[in-house]
Amino acid sequence: MEIDELLGFAKRAGFFWPAAEVYGGASGLFDYGHLGATLKRNFEGAWLRYFVTANGYHLIEGSNMLPEKPLIASGHASRFNDVVVGCSKCKTYYRADVLLNELKIKVSEGASAKELEEAIRSNGVKCQKCGGALMEPKDFNLMVDVALGPEKHEKGYLRPETAQSTYLNFFREFNLLRKKLPMGLAIIGRAYRNEISPRQGLYRMRELTQAELQIFFDPGGWEIDDRERLLDRKVNVVPYSSHEQRAMSGNEMIKELGMPKFYAFHMCMIDRFYMEAMRIPKEKLRFMELGGDEKAFYNKLHFDIQADIQSWGGFKEIGGLHYRGDHDLSSHTKGSGQDMSVDVNGRKVMPNVLELSFGVDRNIWMLVDLLYSKEGERSVLKLPYRIAPYSIAVLPLQKDDKIIEYASSLARELRSSFNLFYDESGSIGRRYARMDEAGTPLCITVDFETVGDNPAERDTVTIRDRDTKKQDRVKRAGLPAAIASALE
Ligand SMILES: [Zn+2]
């Protein structure tokens, strides 16, 4: 699917569209509609169960607004920059590295303003809109500032990433949670970035949702319990040393790449999440190692989680796995004066952090891109049954009083157990088509047999499966059990 086609589908079906659309939309800001909001919530729920609660970790919630000090300590105030370059004639602004990449001029991910200026000059790059000369590229801080108080004198920022909130709460939570390492704190929440020229739908947004898990561990050792033999799992990986994609098991990565066991283990865990819980085909996911100047200096190991997303032109980052050392807690120790080192069996240690970071909006876009398909006349979004916005739809076959009454009462009864959509508008074929596009796994249809006099068929309804289009007739009494088992 092309990008405009995907956006068109997302709007038409009810997933997402630009914010303030009636005013012409706003760059990098999106609203989620009734299908998208529930899909997003369900994705977050699946993420939370899989990565956080199943591993004995904990969910917290941090303030979206932060005072200036922690973001000075974390380095965001000075280093959370992109390089911007503007046209001297038409005042169009570009993110310099993105502009060069689009022109197929290779620059590294962390290139400085100076390096980018050289690349622009030596390649004779001009404004892509009007052909005008480009001004000198400059560092541009991406944080969104807020000014609070009656004189707006209390300077702060909207948080640029959720992670800072877990670092800021580490010390209190460590003491509350019985002073044990490893300890995992997760946040699902908003982050804000004043992106220079946000584009590509949900790829670069000015307000985005992150799902992040920071695991604090003893730098002296972290015993991994691999009773599920996750380390035998093969994942697609592109090591920085070779730049070549290979399928390697966790154990092979430990042996051949010298990767710490806990790191390989979590990479395999992420891979399994996408294959099993999200139903992403194996060849569509890979882990790309960043090295040298590309990765932040405090990351000891950094792999992007990438998915092959056609509408974004190939493999794109949807998350990351970062071994961050003790940079974060050390910085906040310095900045706040609160010593965040902890006592582990008589040793004083500054915990290290393993960060599992996911862009929720990018993941939603990926699911639509990868799981939407056209099968002859019909188009269908084959979402995993457990995260589909609606689990079932109840559809009266025709506008017949008896059928409608029966179907509405059935919908009322099932609503308490299942997320359900009731629809009586349009032909039955059209309604099935809309539910296929919404990704609804099961359609339950009430027809003349349901309300008829034949005792063999009275009180029976049909269940239609989204993927096979197969229809079964079931007794109303057995319906909740039949639905539950079909959804498993
Ligand atoms: Zn221009």
In a shared domain, residues 73 and 158: yes
Q: Please name which of 301, 291, 293 lies closest in space to residue 260, comparing C-alpha atoms.
A: 301
- Cα of 287 to ligand 1 centre, how many Å? 37
The answer to the question of residue 456 being in a domain is yes
CATH of the domain at 176: 3.30.930.10
- Cα of 140 to ligand 1 centre, how many Å? 19
| Residue ranges for the chain with pLDDT beneath 50 | none
The answer to the question of residue 394 being in a domain is yes
Strands 347-349 and 183-192: unpaired
Angle at 359 between CA 233 and CA 289, to 5 degrees: 50
The answer to the question of residue 38 being in a domain is yes
- Cα of 96 to ligand 1 centre, how many Å? 14
Residue 59's SS3 state is strand
- Cα of 82 to ligand 1 centre, how many Å? 20
- Cα of 204 to ligand 1 centre, how many Å? 22
- Cα of 109 to ligand 1 centre, how many Å? 25
In a shared domain, residues 337 and 432: no
- Cα of 120 to ligand 1 centre, how many Å? 15
- Cα of 208 to ligand 1 centre, how many Å? 29
Q: Please name which of 332, 479, 312 lies closest in space to residue 394, comparing C-alpha atoms.
A: 479
- Cα of 207 to ligand 1 centre, how many Å? 27
Residue 472 belongs to domain spanning: 390-487
The answer to the question of residue 378 being in a domain is no
- Cα of 200 to ligand 1 centre, how many Å? 21
What's the confidence (pLDDT) of residue 298? 86
What's the confidence (pLDDT) of residue 340? 96
What's the pTM?
0.96
Task: Please state the separation of Cα 158 from the chain's center in Å.
Answer: 20
**Distance (Å, whole) CA 277 – CA 419:** 19
Q: What is the tally of structural domains in the chain? A: 3
Tokens 């989204």, residue located: 466
- Cα of 91 to ligand 1 centre, how many Å? 6
In a shared domain, residues 86 and 156: no
**Number of helices followed by number of strands (H, E) in the chain:** 15, 26
In a shared domain, residues 281 and 326: yes
Q: Please name which of 420, 382, 421, 428 lies closest in space to residue 403, comparing C-alpha atoms.
A: 428
**Distance (Å, whole) CA 210 – CA 364:** 12
The answer to the question of residue 382 being in a domain is no
- Cα of 196 to ligand 1 centre, how many Å? 15
In a shared domain, residues 190 and 225: yes
What's the confidence (pLDDT) of residue 292? 86
- Cα of 131 to ligand 1 centre, how many Å? 6
The answer to the question of residue 223 being in a domain is yes
- Cα of 223 to ligand 1 centre, how many Å? 57
What's the confidence (pLDDT) of residue 426? 95
What's the confidence (pLDDT) of residue 294? 82
CA dihedral 372, 373, 378, 380 (to 10 degrees): -30
The residue from 141, 160, 177 where one domain ends is 141
In a shared domain, residues 137 and 207: no
